[in-house]
Structure 1
Amino acid sequence: MVYIILISLTLGIAFGNFISPEMFKDIDKISTIALNLLIFSVGVDIGLNKEVLTKIKKKGVKILLVPLAVVIGSLFGGLIVGLIFKLQTNLALAISAGFGWYSLSAVILTNLAGAEAGTVAFLSNVFRELLAVLSIGFIASKINYITAIAPSGATAMDTTLPVISKFTDEETVVIAFLTGTILTFLVPFLVPFFYNI
């Protein structure tokens, strides 16, 4: 599946270089519809397995440990990378608090800190999503299913959810969706919060 994703991405980039933008002015709508169909199909798959939701309910509040761990790991990773590249601590934390949601975090940081910070946020979060797509299968098979959620960050509720679904089980998919939803909710609050400290 990872190879198909990479080939599709490469073909899309090549194709995009040779066509007129007018031909694909509605590409955002098309990709949104396709993504929603993928998420719908994952939801149907989960709904068919009645035991999954029961198992999730039994976990209770402990299920919130997954998004908490992803938040802590992302911020810690951002601090380390910030030290390596000599970024201000607040900027490094704000960029890592994008949790893979490259469009929103880039816009917020462009408004707060300028185009350079917004570009860094955009690229780091795009690369996070690409690395998630490439690493989820490996992490799921070599470590465990829950850990395979972490690279996705906020995208665990949408773009990387089908990849998580492919390499894990229904229970993990539900936890991934919940994790992605929580992280997506946190991004517009944490990015400006960390930048302003």
Structure 2
Amino acid sequence: MKGSIIVLLCFIAGWITGSLTGVIDGFHSLSIWLLYFLMFQVGLGIGTNPDLGRMLRSLRMTDVLLPVATMCGTLIFTAVGSFFISRWNMAECLAVNSACGYYSLSSILVSQLKEPSLGVAIATQLGTVALLANIFRELTTLVGAPLIRRWLGPEAVISSAGVTSVDVCLPAIRRWCGPSYIPSAIIHGVLIDISTPFFISFFCSI
């Protein structure tokens, strides 16, 4: 919770600074290098995980199906919800929500990939939507985990967390779902983590 609030405060501080100072020369070229660094960090984090080999060897069918169900449910409900949003088309909504809680990567990746077709200003707006939507997904899981567990079951808590089931939301999953669900949560987060850049890139290219 504390980490999510810090991210929101940083976003607000950046928004205020940008409003007061205007466009900073070289900012967009800097952001693309930041994107490359985030992608490198994703691969580095997964590759250096000492438990990665053990988790892959212990994969069960249910562990693979859960992230598939998470992504399918996210995309289906996003597609339905896009009909009620006039500002953005379906592909843009899918690009935003296919991040499954990965706000740091999605905000930059969506902004960069949509800039050629939408322009800098509109692409930045969509990147901001991606940032806020995915932060709110994380916050909803952290706050609502006990209710989600009670009404929908432990797998729903993991699914709600999206990519953050491997890190930020893992303590909440452990507390409300039990230690036995930790391996499933980690595998779920890793698989969503790997697939997220591909889904965002695909929907941004449509």
Unmatched 5+ stretches in structure 1 = 18-52
The residue that corresponds to 1:20 in the other structure is none
Residue 67 (structure 1) aligns with: 67
Aligned to 1:136, the other structure's residue is in SS state helix
* Residue 21 (structure 2) aligns with: none
2:158 corresponds to: 149
Higher mean displacement: 113-122 or 139-148 = 139-148
Which portions of structure 1, spanning 4 or more consecutive aligned residues, are displaced by more than 4 angstroms? none
State the Cα deviation string for residues 32-72 of structure 1 (Å, max 9, x = none). xxxxxxxxxxxxxxxxxxxxx9xx94x72232110000000
| Residue equivalent to 2:104 | 103
The 3-state SS of whatever aligns with 1:84 is coil
Residues 83-162 of structure 1 aligned to structure 2 (within 5 Å): 83-86=83-86, 87-113=88-114, 114-162=123-171
Amino acid at match of 1:77: F
Counting only pairs closer than 5 Å after superposition, residues 157-172 of structure 1 correspond to structure 2 as 157-172=166-181
| Residue 142 (structure 1) shift | 2.7
Structure 2 residue aligned with 1:184: 193
Q: Which amino acid aligns with 2:137?
A: R
Structure 1 residue 139: Cα displacement: 1.3
Alignment counterpart, residue 193 of structure 1, candidates 181, 199, 202: 202
Using the TM superposition, give the Cα deviation of residue 78 of structure 1 relative to its aligned residue in structure 2, in angstroms.
1.5
Which moves more between the two structures, 74-83 or 90-99? 74-83
Over the matched positions of the two proteins, sequence identity in percent amounts to 26
Given the two structures, how large is their TM-score scaled by the length of structure 2?
Answer: 0.67
CA shift, 1:189, in A, is 1.1
Letter in 1 for 2:156: T
Q: Distance in 2 between matches of 1:132 and 1:60?
A: 24
> What do you get for the CA RMSD once the two structures are aligned?
2.7
- Counterpart CA distance in 1 for 2:189 and 2:95 is 18
CA distance in 1, matches of 2:102, 2:147: 22
Structure 1 residues 99-108 or 80-89, which shifts more? Answer: 80-89
Q: Deviations over 1:13-33 (max 9, x none)?
A: 6xx99xxxxxxxxxxxxxxxx
Count of residues paired in the alignment: 152
